[in-house]
């Protein structure tokens, strides 16, 4: 089973894909946002090309756990994507993933200009990897993963 992970931002969508065993997340090229319909079409194409059976979308939440303005935008994108593909689209808490991605790139001594383009991809990898790790743990304990 292959999963696609998304970090949906206003300008770009970071994309990651799992291996067939759903163990490791790897980055794919970032999708530049051009408009709601075209963005959904681009992601739907990636779902088909990668053979993804589930899409995990990072859902930004405020520190109190509530969904804010950016989270509402992501939820609207998820609704549109659900209509365009025949695979489940699940939200996954993405609090702090962008900050962790930036820190990872800083520690790797990636230059400022290169970091700007890479942070969305790294955030998507972190979102998907945390989801995959959670699923493995839930499966091992006999639990159904929570949204």
- Domain of residue 50, CATH code: 3.30.420.140
CB 98 within 8 A of CB 59: no
pLDDT at 131 over 90: yes
Could you tell me the pTM of the whole model?
A: 0.85
Confirm whether 49 is domain-assigned: yes
Query: For 70-119, what is each residue's pLDDT tens digit?
Result: 999 999 999 999 999 999 999 998 865 665 656 665 666 666 665 566 87
The total domain count for the chain is: 1
CB 127 within 8 A of CB 16: yes
Q: Which residue has the tokens 């770009």?
A: 12
3-state secondary structure of 44: helix
Confirm whether 63 is domain-assigned: yes
The domain of 27 spans 3-141
Tokens for 137, please give them: 């743990």
Confirm whether 44 is domain-assigned: yes
Q: Which residue has the tokens 């994108």?
A: 77
What's the confidence (pLDDT) of residue 32? 96
pLDDT band at residue 63 using 50, 70 and 90 as cut-offs: confident
């Amino acid at each position: 089973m292959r999963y696609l992970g998304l970090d949906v931002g206003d300008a770009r969508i970071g994309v990651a894909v799992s291996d067939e065993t759903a163990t490791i997340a790897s980055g794919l090229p970032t999708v530049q946002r051009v408009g709601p319909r075209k963005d959904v079409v681009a992601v739907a194409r990636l779902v088909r090309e990668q053979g993804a059976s589930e899409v995990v979308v990072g859902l930004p939440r405020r520190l109190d756990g509530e969904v804010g303005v950016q989270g509402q935008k992501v939820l609207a994108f998820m609704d549109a994507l659900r209509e365009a593909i025949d695979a489940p689209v699940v939200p996954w808490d993405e609090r702090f993933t962008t900050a962790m991605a930036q820190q990872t790139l800083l520690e790797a001594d990636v230059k400022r200009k290169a970091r700007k383009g890479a942070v969305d991809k790294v955030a998507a990898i972190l979102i998907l990897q945390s989801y995959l790790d959670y699923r493995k743990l839930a499966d091992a304990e006999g639990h159904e993963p929570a949204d």
